[in-house]
Amino acid sequence: MKDLFSLSGKTIAVIGAGSGIGQAVAIGVARQGGHVICLDLNAAGAAATAASIAEAGGSAQADAVDITNATSVRDALANSLHKRSTLDGLVCTPAVNVRKPILSYSVEEFDRVINMNLRGNFIVLQVAGQLMSAQRHGSIVLFSSIRSLVTEPGQSVYSMTKAGIVQLVRTAATEWGEKGVRVNAVGPGVIETPLTAPIKAQPAWYQAYADKTPMKRWAQAEEMAGPTIFLLSDAASYVTGTILFADGGWLANDGRFQPPGM
């Protein structure tokens, strides 16, 4: 059964590989035997991740990419694949968040979040879908969030984009299923990454999020590698058009009061 989760012989592009969840996923893919194309807007970060993979005996290369620019995405994948026969999988993790009440949001801030989280993911999905549809196989994994289902004050635009990613995934799965292309999303809960560093800097806020999770802790970025690798692997050969929540039970926990004697 362990071979079902192997990525040996597969070429997987990981966008966001320079840090956080993307870096953890890239390292995880390499440990499962995959050749990793490490892509990031931060070219130095992507290169550092690829170098660490190579030092550990894995196979990786790196390049820069701007997911909000279609030409950049096409060029990055084309340049990376010129010595590879196919693109077997692609993961896209980058996102941005501006935490503000709706009445305080500026149009410029709205555009910034939409441009990265929705437009960027759409571009990546479209370019990868074109390549994989032509070769008639592949697995695409986008990153959504628990915020696709539940939200809180200050999360309006971010939550909207994460819900939008789920619908992109579902639609792509219906359009490309007959071509052998699977499309899914991972829905993290609270993860310690550069994006959530401002929360960690405020102990009360950080602890409140930990307490909301039945496991009473935040996740580490490395804990998102397993769910992602599952969706990339043959173990998920009949899984498409869905979101896999890796949230420590956040969405299952309705309420903060624990009855006496429990």
Active site residue ranges: 145, 158, 162
Phi, psi of 16, deg, nearest 5? 105, 15
Residue 144's SS3 state is coil
State how far the Cα of 99 lies from the Cα of 153, in Å rounded to an integer: 8
Which tokens hold the place of 21? 């969840």
DSSP string, 163-200: HHHHHHHHHHHHHHGGGTEEEEEEEE-SEESGGGHHHH
Alpha helices in 185-260 (DSSP H): 197-200, 203-212, 225-232
Please give the DSSP secondary-structure letter assigned to residue 261. Answer: T
E strand residue ranges, 4-154:
11-15, 35-40, 59-64, 89-92, 138-143
Is residue 206 within 8 Å of residue 192, measured between CB atoms? no
Angstrom distances, CA of residue 167 to CA of 25, 72, 160, 247: 23, 24, 11, 19
Residue 64's SS3 state is strand
3-state secondary structure 66-104: CCCCHHHHHHHHHHHHCCCCCCCEEEECCCCCCCCCHHH
